[in-house]
Chains A and B, each alone.
Chain A
Amino acid sequence: MAVLASVGCAPADANAPGIHLSAALTGDDVTLTWDGHRGGVVVEFATEPDGRYTILDFPPADRSTFEHPDLMPATTFYYRVRPVTGPTSAPATPVPIDVAPADEDWIVPRTVPDPAAKPAPGGAPTNLLARTVAPDGLLLTWRDNATDEAGYLVEAEVGGDFQVVYVVDRDVNSAGIITQESERAATYRVRAYRFGAQSNVVHEQTPG
């Protein structure tokens, strides 16, 4: 059973440079800025020092700020960012499915038995297929070649950047998504992701 992405305790990543996180409070908005890492991260918040962290965003690799707006008053917010690393599949462009599914179970993330898979630590996903099953529906299947992933990220290339649009647990190799207009012509890839060493934790208290 996989660990919840929002609360995962990441092992230290010896290869990740340290991320330095800073925060600025303006009114009831907090703006986070980080440096020291090139690549994607996950931004998380909690409202207790040792509290439960909740994922806010997976900013793309070329972004190093995040705004958390309209916050709960008189509350201390704690923030951290963690690198999100891991190998990706080759990109795939959606193609029409041969036979339309009889129901919508294709949406549900699942692990389909794959006798050809030979998972190993750090293995990159392969054999990604993106099939259009409905005007707004896309079925993605891939080969899970990893044994040490925290889960899989589905990333869509929109506007020239790959952005996380879907997160599923480890060992999943089939999942459907409901696409937005901008994503219907996108190219997709999946990443066997892991978390790197987290940044420093910063906190800000919102006004009462």
Chain B
Amino acid sequence: MQRRLLASIAAAAALLLAAAPSATAEVEPGGWTSYSPGFSVQERGCGDVNDLTFTLTCSTASGDQRAERRYTTYTGGSRQFEGYFRITSQTGSRISLKQTFHETGSGAYFMLAVERGGRLYAVHGGTTLATGATVGTTVRVNTVHDVGGTHRTYINGSLKHTVSSGTGGFYDKFGSYRTDSGAGPISVVWSGIRFWRK
């Protein structure tokens, strides 16, 4: 079935579902501890952040256009991220929704992005990760990162991307971010954000 990611919003319900962290729901069991890393909000260009709604309001195809949460840096061990996103409107294309950033290395070494029409892809390499969930539905994202090992991305529970990882400092980002070849507008709502570490 051909699918897309456009959606409309049910913000109140989504916020209700941004549940408190659970230590029992990690996706690869074995010594994980739930935690709540700190974050800063980044709004650049036409980016706007309203709690967990991340909007690029312009179609500018140049410069720094971003609306994101940038979480604290980690330097070793393993980390899990879980979140759900729903695109409430998208007339732009090639917008990154989730990044794992190699702060002491190559920069954004994993970027999950969405094209106009709904294809989810990895910016580095262009691998298609999914043709999206059916429009109007929420997509679940899990990433598992073993620093110095691999970084694995699961879309709706299925492994879609694996890349080797260097060492050093990394951090998670999510929201909406114009890639080098992209442009807004877009509005995406994230919910159910959880982190684990070991």
Interface residues of A (CB under 8 A from B): 1-7, 45, 47-48, 51-52, 54-60, 68-75, 77, 103-105, 107-109, 136, 151, 154, 156, 158, 163-169, 172, 175, 177-178, 180, 182-183, 208
Contact among A5, A165, A175 for B3, CB-based, below 8 A = A165
Nearest B residue to A60, CB-CB: B1
Cβ-defined contact, B156 with A45, below 8 A = yes
Given contacts A3-B10, A55-B133, A164-B134, contact A72 B4 (CB under 8 A): no
Asked if A165 meets B8 with Cβ closer than 8 Å, knowing A58-B1, A105-B91, the reply is no
How far, in angstroms, from A163 to B94 measured CA to CA in the complex? 26
Q: Which residues in B have their C-beta under 8 angstroms from that of A55?
A: 133-134, 137-138
Most buried by A among B27, B91, B137, B142: B137
How far is A101 from B25 in the complex, measured between Cα atoms in Å? 47
Which of B12, B30, B136 contacts A167, CB < 8 Å? B136
Decide: A166 near B135, CB < 8 A? Known: A75-B28, A109-B8: yes
Give the number of residue pairs across the A-B interface with Cβ within 8 Å. 143
Whether B2 contacts A165 by the Cβ 8 Å rule is yes
For B, the interface residue count at a CB cutoff of 8 angstroms equals: 46
- Give the 5 A-B residue pairs with the shortest CB-CB distance, closest first: A167-B136, A178-B117, A104-B91, A166-B135, A169-B8
A75 contacts B14, C-beta separation under 8 Å: no
CA distance A144 to B109 in the complex (A): 45
In the complex, the chain A residue whose C-beta lies closest to that of B192 is A52
Q: Smallest CB–CB gap between B41 and chain A, Å?
A: 24
B121 CB–A CB distance under 8 Å: no
Cα A104 to Cα B184 in complex, Å, equals: 11
- Is B136 within 8 A of A166, CB to CB? yes
Neighbouring A residues of B135 by C-beta, 8 Å? 154, 165-168, 177
Q: Which residues of A contact B86 (CB under 8 A)?
A: 4
B27 contact set on A, CB distance < 8 A: 47, 72, 75
A73-B8 contact, Cβ under 8 Å, with A166-B134, A167-B137: no
Contact (Cβ within 8 A) A70 B137? no
**A74 touching B1, Cβ below 8 Å:** no
* 7 A-B contact pairs sorted by A residue (CB < 8 Å): A1-B13, A5-B137, A75-B28, A107-B90, A177-B4, A178-B4, A183-B2
B138 adjacent to A72 (CB under 8 Å): no
Q: Which residue of chain B lies nearest to A165 when distances are taken between CB atoms in the complex?
A: B2
